[in-house]
Structure 1
Amino acid sequence: MKPVATTQPQSTVFVVDDDLSVRESLELLLRHEGFVVETFTSAEGFFARTSPRMASCVVLDISLPGLNGLDIQKRLAVERPDMPILFITGHGDIPTTVQAMKAGAVEFLTKPFSDSTLLSAIHAAVERSKKLLARETELNELRSRYADLTPREREVMALVACGFANKAVGSELGISEITVKAHRGSVMRKMKADSLAALIWMAGRLRLPRTINTGSFR
């Protein structure tokens, strides 16, 4: 029977487990499901591999030589927050499970588990990764657009996003209302905002101040 690829080819599952039989069985299962699979015996091997930004997740044994699963989770939270984690273990305990889930693990499976349970969790993890990467790409694009604004346009954007009308913006910046309108139009065009609501949303994504110390513009 021909394998049915249910996931985009670029979606990768990293398997980190020191048990050869586990690595081999998971690799066979996941490749049949249409994933790209890379396996590692330790955290050191996994982190030595330079991973490009792509939809992915990690199937991670909680007990590993050297850095254990929870240690890896902490490091990934900083270095690759777009890479969700599924823990697998042969001897799980409640405190460890709670700790892993609170830290953001997608699933914590105790061996033996069914193929369908694992695959369902992996598909959910990959979808989460896609969404996180999309948000990161979107934010980087917004930052790039914002970087193209002049200092004056950034001032206008900050005040407009905080609810200041054109006249009030002009008063705060010491420029005419007509000039404010020109700057505001340029901001809308450069930021590709088709409405004031969109501009306010962009300001929120960029974490621009929601309140303005008006004296700072004088």
Structure 2
Amino acid sequence: MMTNLFSVFDPLTSIMNLSLNWLSTFLGLCLIPITFWFLPSRYNILWNNIITTLHKEFKTLIGSYGHPGSTFMFISLFSVILFNNFLGLFPYVFTSSSHLSMTLSLALPLWLSFMIYGWINHTQHMFAHLVPQGTPPVLMPFMVCIETISNMIRPGTLAVRLAANMIAGHLLLTLLGNTGPSLSTSILSMLIIAQIALLTLESAVAMIQSYVFAVLTTLYSSEVN
């Protein structure tokens, strides 16, 4: 039962034994260049406003010591995750952001690059982060252990948070959808309303989780400056 249930998220679409699942991640590349040949539309104006707002917020989070232009990396990260989250809401489209292989590929290299940069260029600053200000001397060894562990699990929490939130809503939609053929007409109408409400909730979750992932990555980068 569990194997069949979770196999919905990995349909193994292939042509001549060539997996096509992860092609959904690159579908946006087919649409983005077209927008550069049009006059500014409402879509372009809305997206520019979102990017400008994110740029200002990420710049505030990074602080005055951050490198110029580093906010664009986090805006690109937000855009990639948001696009893949929304693609998963369409039928017969593989949800790449619900798999740990995708989310870990985003979180682990970013966290590792922050750590390598911080320990090489700001070693004393990184050591200072291991002991919060005002910690009693007796508790300092324990705080170092706790802070080290919490720092080590950051890429895992980023990846699991995104994958778990995306797969939870999809799983609930799948479970409710499978009960549809066995229901009466009156209950079926209520099920459709519940599915629409869940789909709206999943749209909000897709935006929130991409924003949370980008903001937490920005905060992690601000700690090494």
**TM score, norm. by length of structure 2:** 0.25
Q: Which structure ranks higher in relative contact order (CA pairs < 8 Å, sequence separation ≥ 6)?
A: 2
Which structure: greater strand fraction?
1
Which structure: greater helix fraction?
2
**TM score, norm. by length of structure 1:** 0.26
